[in-house]
Every structure is written in structure tokens, then in C-alpha cells.
Amino acid sequence: MRKSIVLNKRIEDIEKIERFVETAGKEMELEPELLYKMNLILEEAFTNIVFYGFDGRNDADIKINLNSDNGRILLEIIDNGKAFNPLEVQADAHSVLEDDTKIGGLGVLIIKKLSKELKYKRIDEKNHLIITL
């Protein structure tokens, strides 16, 4: 089963993520713990994209795809912001807490800790972050 949502570059759209996860979770009969992880991951990624991905540009295009296949959950976050590979961020709790100037440090750390696997691609001037849960 596949579900998608398109968002704007407005932090208020974070509420749409919560509703998307809740609705998709019910339809896919996902466990509450998994829904909590999905929501936290998506909120962290979305927040980083909104605050750091566009440098004042208003042409934001942010899409989230959720795929459920034989018990495997894949999240794909696609945005047309500036190139940013979160897999290249060296984040650990100690360094993130000491240096709050690092872009995406704590959010990336949370995403890495809650995911089974992360992949990143830059295709046609868009970031694609693929998260396996």
C-alpha cells in the first residue's frame, strides 16, 4: 500500500504530517510504536527542510511517500531544496549538545537512531531521503 502527501514550506504543515501518519497508520494497521517513530522522523526531517533547505526561496516542493509492503515500511522524503545528504552528518549526542550551530545535527541523530536503514540520492535537483523502518 502506498500513501503520499505534498507539503508547503510552512512549519504549520507539521500538523498535516501528524494527520497523515495517523490516517495511513490506521489504514495500514500499523502498531502505535511504529507510528510514533514515523511521526518523529518525519517531523525532524520536515523541520530541517523548512528551516535550512531553501535559503528564503518560496518555491518549496516537499513530498512524503509511505510504502508498506509485507511488514516493511519505507518512507521517502523528497524536496527541491539545496542539496543536503544527512548521511554525511557526523552526529553523536555529545557533539550535538555542545555545538548547536550544526545544521540538522540533533534531528539527523534522531532519524538515524530510529531507522533500520537510510539512503540518500540527489535526482533532478531534488533530495530523496529513503528511510526503512
**Domain extents for the chain?**
2-132
- Could you read off the pLDDT of 7-54 as tens digits, one per residue? 988 899 999 999 999 999 999 999 999 999 999 999 999 999 999 999
CATH code of the domain occupying 2-132: 3.30.565.10
Residue 129 reports pLDDT greater than 80: yes
- pTM for the complete prediction? 0.87
DSSP conformation letters of 82-113:
S---GGG----HHHHHH-TTSTTHHHHHHHHH
- Could you read off the pLDDT of 66-95 as tens digits, one per residue? 999 888 899 999 999 999 999 998 765 445
